[in-house]
Amino acid sequence: MKYITRYLEDSIIEIHRTFKVLYVGGPRQVGKTTTLRKLAKKLGVNYITLDDRIIRELALRDPHLFLEQYPSPLFIDEVQYAPGLFSEIKVRVDASDQCGRYWLTGSEQFAMMKNIRESLAGRVGILTLLGFSHAEIKGVKKIVTPFLNPKQILLRKKGDSINDIFTEIHRGSFPGLYQLNSPQTEIFYNSYIQTYLERDIAQLFHVAKLANFEIFLQLCAARTGQILNMSDLARDAGISLHAASEWLSILESSRQIYLLRPYYTNIPKRLVKMPKLYFLDTGLAAYLTRWNSPPSLQSGAMKGAFFETFVIIQIIKSYLYRGIEPPLFYVRDKDGHEIDLIIQREQKLFPIEIKCSANISTDDLVPIRFWRQAGLSLGQGSIICAVDKVSVFDKDTRLIPCHAIT
């Protein structure tokens, strides 16, 4: 299998050179170990995994002896299985000014971040890896800055048709699906969900009713690209509002979903304050909502929601893979005037509308124009859609093909 270069590699090397500890989080099977092992070999960092039962038992029983046995610079994979290592690592890095001493990864974000905050604050550089971005899959050269406006877009000579995009949306972004002998998507995702439920959820979060949680997962997938109404979600799942909130937090902390928060403004409008929910892998969401093929998804009732989810995911990755937390919001008032996405950068707000169409009209600009007139200070606007190339729509707006996000 040909190795696909990850955009995050530059940020990993930078953290290695400037922090004593590197932590790379993210869901299972997104390529954390593969990427880090490649770079560890290049940079002379030793590797050990706590998936090995004997090694894990030593790390649990005697963290001090474990770190004596496996000296730094050391890459510890699946470190969440031995939380006692964090305090011992703290002692060792505090006794030295050397950077790049420990690399840590884990698939379970919630307890990991708690341990990092308590033990390694100020000593650790934190990065997140998700599945392949569209640009990574296509081998597009990485540019320095994350996605913001058309001036920073590096276009390929030939873009992708909307059929190609929906084939990718349906497949998803897990590296295992891009191998030469990759499994069928249904087999892959069935195995992935069972591993996620049985290892991350049952063992680490102590959720007793896994069948109920799987139903909850399916209901969340059916809401991708939509404003989240927690009361409706809890009712449909047959659980309490408290349980729904707790389980949603689990999905967010384990990087299965992304909650796009509303932008708050002093403009006197009655604003919607609920987040929008996006699944962070469209292939997993398609599997959970039983869309069995790209054509059925492309012609189905959730076409727009999946296209919007795909675009949002690419923009999220554009920031995460440069070591930047995505500065993303949306805005909507009680009368339904909504801008799909706002990027806040350099004290400016850049509005983005997302349309699964190549036929864009002035009607598609109504939300952005409404909020400009309402007093929201907006910069250059964009409509990300199914056009072939970047073009000027009006003096404030550009049309951007969805495949142009890097």
| The pLDDT of residue 260 is above 90 | yes
**Interacting residues of 244 by C-beta distance below 8 A, sequence separation 6+:** 216, 230, 233, 234, 237
Same domain, residue pair 220 and 311? yes
CA–CA dist 131, 324 (Å, integer): 17
Of the candidates 128, 156, 187, which is a domain's last residue? 128
Residue 301, pLDDT score:
97
Q: In which band, very low, low, confident or very high, does the pLDDT at 32 lie, cut at 50, 70 and 90?
A: very high
Across the range 154-180, mean pLDDT stands at: 86
With tokens 């922090």, the residue in question is: 19
Please compute the mean of the pLDDT values over residues 279-283 and round it to a whole number: 98
Same domain? For 102 and 190 the reply is no
- 230 and 379 both lie in a single domain: yes
Q: Please check whether residues 79 and 156 belong to one and the same domain.
A: no
Contact 350, 319 (CB under 8 A): no
In the 3-class helix/strand/coil scheme, how is the chain assigned residue by residue? CCCCCCCCHHHHHHHHHHCCEEEEECCCCCCHHHHHHHHHHHHCCEEEECCCHHHHHHHHHCHHHHHHHCCCCEEEECHHHCCCHHHHHHHHHHCCCCCCCEEEEECCHHHHHHHHHHHCCCCEEEEECCCCCHHHHHCCCCCCCCCCCHHHCCCCCCCCCHHHHHHHHHHCCCHHHHCCCCCCHHHHHHHHHHHHHHHHHHHHHCCCCHHHHHHHHHHHHCCCCEECCHHHHHHHHCCCHHHHHHHHHHHHHCCCEEEECECCCCCCCCECCCCEEEECCHHHHHHHCCCCCHHHHHCCCCHHHHHHHHHHHHHHHHHHCCCCCCCEEEEEECCCCEEEEEEEECCEEEEEEECCCCCCCHHHHHHHHHHHHCCCCECCEEEEECCCCCEEEECCEEEEEHHHCC
In a domain, 29, yes or no: yes
Are residues 180 and 122 part of one domain?
no
Predicted confidence (pLDDT) at residue 153 exceeds the cutoff of 60: no
pLDDT (mean) for 255-278: 92
In a domain, 4, yes or no: no
Q: Is residue 235 part of a domain?
A: yes
Domain boundary among 112, 128, 144: 128
**What's the pLDDT at 48?**
96
390-395: average pLDDT: 89
| pLDDT higher than threshold 60 for residue 159 | yes
Rounded to an integer, the average pLDDT of 29-43 is 96
For residue 110, the model assigns a pLDDT of 61
Confidence of residue 156 (pLDDT cuts 50, 70, 90): very low
In this structure, the answer to whether residues 121 and 145 fall within a common structural domain is: no
pLDDT at position 117: 73
Q: Are residues 197 and 251 in the same domain?
A: yes
Evaluate if residue 154 carries a pLDDT over 60.
Answer: no
Domain of 45?
Answer: 9-128
Answer yes or no: is 342 within a domain: yes
In the prediction, which pLDDT does 47 show?
A: 97
Residues 192 and 121 in one domain: no
pLDDT per residue as tens digits for the range 196-209: 888 778 766 677 68
**102 and 171 fall within a common domain:** no
Q: Does pTM top 0.85 for this prediction?
A: yes
pLDDT at position 109 is 61
pLDDT value of residue 328: 98
Q: Which pLDDT value is given to residue 149?
A: 59
pLDDT grade, residue 151 (50/70/90)?
low
Per the domain annotation, does 142 fall within a domain?
yes
Give tens-digit pLDDT for 284-298. Answer: 999 999 999 999 999
Query: pLDDT, tens digit, for every residue of 4-17?
Result: 999 999 999 999 99
State the pLDDT confidence band at 361, using cuts at 50, 70 and 90.
very high
In a domain, residue 76? The reply is: yes
- Is there a single domain that holds both residue 35 and residue 142? no
Number of domains in the chain: 2
pLDDT value at 234 more than 70: yes
Looking at residue 125, what is its pLDDT? 94
Q: Name the residue type at position 155.
A: L
Whether 62 is covered by a domain: the verdict is yes
Mean pLDDT of the chain: 92
Per-residue pLDDT band for 211 (boundaries 50, 70, 90) equals: confident
What band does 81 get if pLDDT is binned at 50, 70 and 90?
confident
Residue 30 sits in the same domain as residue 148 = no
User: Does residue 1 lie within any of the structural domains?
Assistant: no
Average pLDDT estimate for 313-329: 97
Binned at pLDDT 50, 70 and 90, residue 158 comes out as: low
pLDDT for 144: 87
Q: What is the CATH number of the domain that holds 41?
A: 3.40.50.300
Domain termination site, one of 128, 144, 174:
128
Measured in whole angstroms, the distance separating CA 74 from the mean position of its chain's CA atoms is: 26
Residues 346 and 203 grouped into a single domain: yes
Band (pLDDT 50/70/90 cuts) for residue 131 is very high
The pLDDT assigned to 121 comes to 82
